[in-house]
Amino acid sequence: MELSQYGELFLSESREHISAINHLLLALEQNPGAAEPVEGMFRAVHTIKGMSATMGYRVVADLAHEMENLMERVRQGRASAGPELVDLLFAATDALERAVELAVEEGDAQQPGIDALLARLRAAAGHEQAAPRHEETHDDAPVAEGAVLVRIRVAPDSPLPGVRAFLALRRARELGTATAVHPSEAAMQEEGFDGAVRFVFQTSHTPHEVREALLAVGEIAEVEVRESRPEPVIEAESAAGAASKVRNIRVDLRRLDALMNGVGELVIVRDRLRRLAGGAEPELAEAVDQASRLVGELQAEIMRARMAPVGQVFDRFPRLVRDAARSLGKKVEFVMEGEEIELDRSMLDEIGDPLVHLLRNALDHGIESPAERRAAGKPETGTLLLSAARERSRIVIRVEEDGRGIQRERVLRKAFSLGLVTEAEAGTMADEEVQRLVMRPGFSTAEKVTDVSGRGVGLDVVATRVRALGGMLEIESEEGRGTVFTLQLPQTLAIVRALLVRQSGETYALPLTHVGETVHLVEGEVGTVKGRSVAFLRDEVVPLLALRALLGTNGSGPESHKRPAVLLEVGDQRVGLEVDALLGQQEIVVKSFDATADTLRLFSGATILSDGRPALILDAGSLLGAAS
């Protein structure tokens, strides 16, 4: 086995520990006298040090070692966790993160400024090393020339016990000679491996040194060094080992993507089989139904396997908010809710950057400085809330702050200077229309460029990215009270249920996430208000769009006195979409496509229908934008 193949595992585990260190540092900053954050950070850094030393990443190991020394000093009460020390640990954590990424990508590479940082850590630690605590005096004596028996037990919650055992064995071989290893290295990689390894060992190191070196690998629950005759190897698996088989494993996301693509193709074939078997013999129809049910169950299981809590993305934001608030000189209480809500992993990878934009916008443009808040009769500390919730088949993520809100006159002045509105239009625009102006490309009311925002790149990028995900960005704001940004997203991008419609001889798909209902409008239910076509539905006036006009196709609508239409709903917004025909519902496999520069911004993807023909997927957010 080669260590290089475990680079991704090292990277994944190190990222988790670094995320934990950031959270614990934030807790320590709030409560400098607390012991729990220091203990947690010490364990996390100690694990990274052990893993990196085993992998041969010297730069990472050296940095982790100096951080560990400094935290040991705090643990012993010989240093206080004041602002300077916390800032130093934040800087060291950032450097550790960069060093880990660089080590996996380029090997044991030296990064600029690392020597200066190591010197600062050593100075803060007073160049003192904690004396090792020995449990028994004979641990200081070298192991006798005769062989000893070493037992290692991997922590029960280790996701890959076989890999962890191999790393411990590799570390042992750096200290001496290991023979009679049980189980074999091949057996360690099998699913039934219970995490227990024993071997005969010869070394010049003391038992204490051996124990500490193996524990430093990380996720090792116990190491025993016995100066006695090794017990005979027993090949039979113990009952306890059989009962502790691994129930969770880490799987490369690319494999899940490949499985999802395969299931997507199966769904297309399933729908085609259903269509072809419409009038088939009962026995064939029954087989098709059974195959359809099995494909559906397989699809559901793979979908569940791909789901992950949004907390995996949210976890990186407390540190971002803390640093941005300090850069802007603002006091902010950051609250997160709904971290357990699950999204498809592919969606999680896509929503991170839009949320970063929204959080930075809230900090820079929304929440006021302490002086402004005092003058407005508000607490000096603003509140920034990031929450996730499930509403029907959609996931709703909100970024909410209690700042100054979107200032109508300021936005209109900027829009007028950019030529987006005229003076006459500005006087008649509703507040909702004014608020949507901030999502126009290049729009920014910032008076100066900062490290956080002000470059005119942000909300339009967010709106475009969210639309590409099949979602919608909404803004609600009240001057002096704050602003709420709401992202409405589908749970997955891969397979969705859609309504098929026909327009000008072509078939289009509308995800059911945004379909409120379908109607057939008669003559008295269609009219005009202020020069715009509307539909009168149950005492409600709804803007009415013709898909034919949006697509720019020729010809007229259907000759029937009933006009088919789809009522689209995104949040509180509703719009009717008139089409030639309603074709029914179908599960579709969403495929991305590279549109040409002149393609209408009405589509979020493409799909293959059960008859093998391609169809474009209409984007509800863009259609509502056209109605506005």
| Active site amino acids | 46, 68, 361
**Residue 196 near residue 189, CB atoms below 8 Å:** no
Beta pairing, strands 506-511 & 495-503: antiparallel
Place of tokens 């009952």: 239
Strands 614-618, 603-608: pairing kind = antiparallel
Query: 94 Cβ partners below 8 Å, 6+ apart?
Result: none
Question: Of 86, 48, 82, whose CA–CA distance to 68 is shortest?
Answer: 48
207-215 and 161-175 helices cross at what angle (nearest 10)?
A: 150
**Is residue 258 packed enough to be buried (19+ CB in 10 Å), middle (13-18) or exposed (0-12)?**
exposed
Nearest alpha carbon to residue 192 among 204, 183, 201, 179:
183
- 570, 405, 578: which is closest to 479 by C-alpha? 405
Closest by CA to 435, choosing from 366, 492, 371, 373, is 366
Buried b (16+ CB within 10 A) or exposed e, 563-585: bbbbbbebbebbbbbbbbebbee
Burial of 108 (0-12, 13-18, 19+ CB in 10 A): middle
DSSP code of 469? T
Helix (H, G, I), strand (E, B), or coil: what is residue 608? strand
Compute the 3-state secondary structure of the chain and give helix, strand, coil in percent, each to the nearest 5.
45, 25, 30
Q: Nearest CA to 187 among 233, 227, 230?
A: 233
Task: Give the integer Cα–Cα distance in Å for 384 and 321.
Answer: 9
How far is residue 562's CA from residue 577's CA, in Å, rounded to a whole number? 14
Q: What single-letter DSSP state applies at residue 415?
A: H
Nearest to 609 by CA among 498, 491, 515: 498
Tokens representing 24? 């614990």
Amino acid at the residue 128? E
- Pick from 577, 579, 609: which is nearest to 591 by CA? 609
- One-letter amino acid identity for 371? A
Euclidean distance between CA atoms 102 and 114, whole angstroms = 13
235-245: buried (b, 16+ CB within 10 Å) or exposed (e) per residue? eeeeeeeeebe
Determine the Cα–Cα distance for residues 527 and 550; give it in Å rounded to an integer: 19
Full 3-state SS string of 546-558:
EHHHHHCCCCCCC
Q: Tell me the residue length of the chain.
A: 628
The dihedral sign for the CA sequence 69, 71, 76, 79: positive
Q: How many Cα atoms sit within 13 Å of 110 on the Cβ side?
A: 7
Distance in angstroms between the alpha carbons of the first and the last residue of the chain: 61
What's the DSSP call for residue 537? Answer: E
Joined tokens for residue 51: 């893993």
